[in-house]
Amino acid sequence: MGKSLILISLLLLGASAFFLKTEKIHEAATPFADVLPIEAMPTNLFWGNISGVNYLTVSRNQHIPVYCGSCWAFAATSALSDRFKILRNASWPDINLAPQVFLNCDFNDQACDGGDSINVYAYIYANGTTDETCQVYKARGWTNGETCGHFQPCYTCQPNGRCGVPATYLKYNVTAFGNVTVANQAQNVQLMMSALQQGPIACAIDATAEFHNYTGGIFWDKTGANNLNHEIEIVGYGVDPTGTQYWIGRNSWGTYWGEGGFFKVVKGINNIGIESDCVYATPDPNIAVFNSTQTAVKEEVKPYVQNQVEEALERPRKYGRVRRISRESVITSPPSWETVDAATLPKAWDWRNVSGVNYLSWNRNQHIPQYCGSCWAHGPTSALADRIAILRNNTFPQISLAPQVLINCNAGGNCNGGDPIGVYKYGHTHGIPDDTSQQYVAENPAKFSCSGTQISMDCVPPAPPAGVETGNCSAVTNEKLWYVGDYGNVAGPNKMKAEIYKNGPIGCGIDATSKFEAYTGGIYSQWLLLPQINHEISVVGWGVAPDGTEYWIGRNSWGTAWGENGFFKMKMYSDNLGIETDCDWGIPDLTR
């Protein structure tokens, strides 16, 4: 089944409730007021390229793994995540606010049956919120099976299957929010343009059948449609060579829709109602470290405790990285360490900040919605996504690669563990789509398959009711695939440095221990007699402490609540859980 069938089915079903205007009045809301004269504003604005810098976070798909009418949560969170990125000058890390928080707990909206972006901002103002690594998207909410339970807004799971609230996690807030548009439509273009100077906004539209079909260019509805039933993000505006003015929007229907998930629509005539109902929120620069031990949910925190002997026995199979079964590689040109002399490399190198630029893709948590030993897929996919950004000079769009595809295909392993080389091998042969083709669900499929819906999918209404597990989904075939060229292994500090410096982050095996699990910051070191590789992370650079201690900068896939915003420093040369013994790399091939 192809995409056209999905589109026909949407036509047959008609406009369903994506966007649901509620009558809720928010006392804390303040209408947008920094109105600028039209002449004072640039004629073109695109937050994906402001003097060469991309301020737009990664794109999403609200319709997988099952259909969910959560556009209102996606429009609001992606506009606000982008505004956080603008506020922070695109510095590391990207903040990807979690739509799922509002599907579970925002009772002013109807979860997968529709809602309104302004309620999301009112919720954040009252309660704060967290990022995707605390509350992964499940495409279900309080109206169809999820509950606003004790694990709000942040949780993570352990190898023993237990889940709990991390002791501390990051909480994000807004300092102001409200309507951009007013009832008098004549003012709205100027109001929207003024608000856009500060960052993206969320707007309601009429997602007509023709809009569903959109594949590119400037969309122009000629039927007068303005039944607001969908919400999107506006990220800029412009004017084409013929003088037609347009808005630039971001949808939440995957990157296989429209122009890589984005669209243009004619500006100035309230086409598809796009100039009638827009909202903004101002991100709070004070990001709070929230101490969950002070909340009512503390009895739900079940730390994973083991005695030393148990741990020594369990460690080898606990975290999901299996011993290398193969030493496969594809090497067609000289590897980095033959062309880069480690002795000439800088004392510190960090892909989170190379001359002020952060090249890293978004943070992940492999352990939610439930524990899954997929580190072997996370380390390489994040290293590859980072390398794609490096090769593309960090230009729009930002890319993520889907670890769930590798699990579904058993390409190196699954939730019971695996071999990272399988990821590169799969990428070399088949190419890997981004996360908008396959939502991370932290689960093995009923049957492993490397085709159809298990690689790239889309789902149609209705949202399945509680208890009904499967949605009405079909395979998508026009998704972009990201290929790997050469790949192989690397070990030892000098070769690792050469590879990281020349080509970007690498994957590395380590022997993760309970002590490493409990890491909260600083330069980690632990002596082990014979490190046994049981976990895969990514190494993104190195540095040297004021006392001269040299260290690796590592990225874990245990969420931002762990370590230093999901990252760690690890002593170089010794006592380092075997981090220098078994690393892997792949070079993205952007020509395929």
| 16, 108, 158, 549: which one binds ligand NAG (CB under 6 A) | 108
Of the residues 74, 84, 125, 257, which one makes contact with ligand NAG according to CB under 6 A:
125
- By rule CB under 6 A, what count of residues binds ligand NAG? 43
Q: Applying CB under 6 A, which of residues 77, 133, 173, 534 lies at the interface with ligand NAG?
A: 173
Among residues 106 and 511, whose Cβ is nearest to ligand NAG? 106
> How far is it, in rounded angstroms, from Cα 525 to Cα 528?
10
User: Binder to ligand NAG among 148, 287, 312, 481 (CB under 6 A)?
Assistant: 148
8 A C-beta contact, residue 274 and residue 225: no
Residues in contact with ligand NAG, shown as a per-residue x/- string from 363 to 402 under the rule CB under 6 A: -----------------------------xx-x-------
> Is 416 one of the binding residues for ligand NAG (CB under 6 A)?
no
Residue 373: CB minimum distance to ligand NAG, A:
29
- Verify whether residue 375 is a known catalytic residue: yes
Smallest distance, Å, CB 247 to ligand NAG? 17
DSSP 485-515: EEEEEE-SHHHHHHHHHHH--EEEEE---HH
Burial 341-370 (b: 16+ CB within 10 A, else e): eeeebeeebbbbeeeebbbbbbbbbbbbbe
Q: Is the peptide bond before 493 cis (omega within 30 degrees of 0)?
A: no
Contact 482, 524 (CB under 8 A): no
Question: How many angstroms separate the CA atoms of 155 and 166, rounded?
Answer: 6
- Residue among 100, 106, 105 nearest 132 (CA): 100
Tokens describing residue 280? 């903004």
Q: Which of 116, 146, 233, 284 binds ligand NAG (CB under 6 A)?
A: 284
Q: Does 472 bind ligand NAG (CB under 6 A)?
A: yes
**Residue 227 burial (CB count, 10 A):** 14
The reply on whether position 94 binds ligand NAG by CB under 6 A is: no
Residue 223 makes contact with ligand NAG by CB under 6 A: no
**Of the residues 16, 22, 41, 107, which one makes contact with ligand NAG according to CB under 6 A:** 107
Question: Structure tokens of 374?
Answer: 């997929």
**Are 385 and 401 within 8 A, CB to CB?**
yes
Give Cα 52 distance to the centre of its chain: 22
HEC profile for 561-590?
CCCECCEEEEECCCCECCCCCCEEEEEEEC
The minimum distance between CB 511 and ligand NAG, in angstroms, equals 28
Catalytic (active site) residue 430: no
Pull the structure tokens for residue 68. Answer: 């969910």
Q: Which of 112, 203, 375, 583 is catalytic?
A: 375
Nearest to 589 by CA among 509, 528, 511, 503: 503
User: Of all residues in this chain, which one has the CB nearest to ligand NAG in the complex?
Assistant: 9
Compute φ and ψ for 4, nearest 5 degrees. Answer: -60, -35
Residue 395 or 429 having the CB closest to ligand NAG: 395
Q: Cα(468)–Cα(360) distance, rounded to whole angstroms?
A: 37
Cα(564)–Cα(562) distance, integer angstroms:
7
Give the separation between CA 106 and CA 102, rounded to whole angstroms: 5
> Between residue 180 and residue 209, which ones bind ligand NAG under the rule CB under 6 A?
209
> What does the alpha-carbon distance between residue 21 and residue 109 come to, in Å, rounded to a whole number?
9
Q: How far is the CB of 128 from ligand NAG (least distance, A)?
A: 4
Residue 116 CA to residue 420 CA, distance in Å, equals 42
589 binds ligand NAG (CB under 6 A): no
**Which amino acid is located at 298 in the chain?**
K
Report if residue 29 touches ligand NAG, rule: CB under 6 A.
Answer: yes
Give the residue carrying structure tokens 């998207």: 137
Binder to ligand NAG among 88, 150, 430, 502 (CB under 6 A)?
A: 88
Q: Does 4 bind ligand NAG (CB under 6 A)?
A: yes
Catalytic residue from among 63, 230, 378, 535: 535
Nearest Cα neighbor of 560 from 528, 521, 526 is 521
Considering the rule CB under 6 A, would residue 259 count as an interface residue with ligand NAG? no
- Interacting positions 36-55 with ligand NAG (CB under 6 A): 49, 52
Under the criterion CB under 6 A, does residue 277 sit at the interface with ligand NAG? yes
- Supply the minimum distance, in Å, between the C-beta of residue 538 and ligand NAG: 19
Q: Is 123 in the site for ligand NAG (CB under 6 A)?
A: yes
d(CA 85, CA 233): 15
Comparing CB distances to ligand NAG, the nearer of 291 and 326 is 291
535 is catalytic: yes
CB of 484 to ligand NAG, least distance (A): 17
Amino acid occupying residue 143:
T
Residue among 61, 96, 408, 556 flagged as catalytic: 556
Residues 515-534 that bind ligand NAG (CB under 6 A): none
Q: How far is the CB of 524 from ligand NAG (least distance, A)?
A: 18
Q: How far is CA 566 from the centre of its chain?
A: 14
User: Which residues would be at the binding site for ligand NAG (CB under 6 A)?
Assistant: 4, 7, 9, 25-26, 29, 49, 52, 88-89, 91, 105-108, 122-123, 125-128, 148, 168, 173, 175, 178-179, 209-210, 213, 277, 284, 289, 291, 293-294, 353, 356, 392-393, 395, 460, 472
The set of catalytic residues is 375, 535, 556
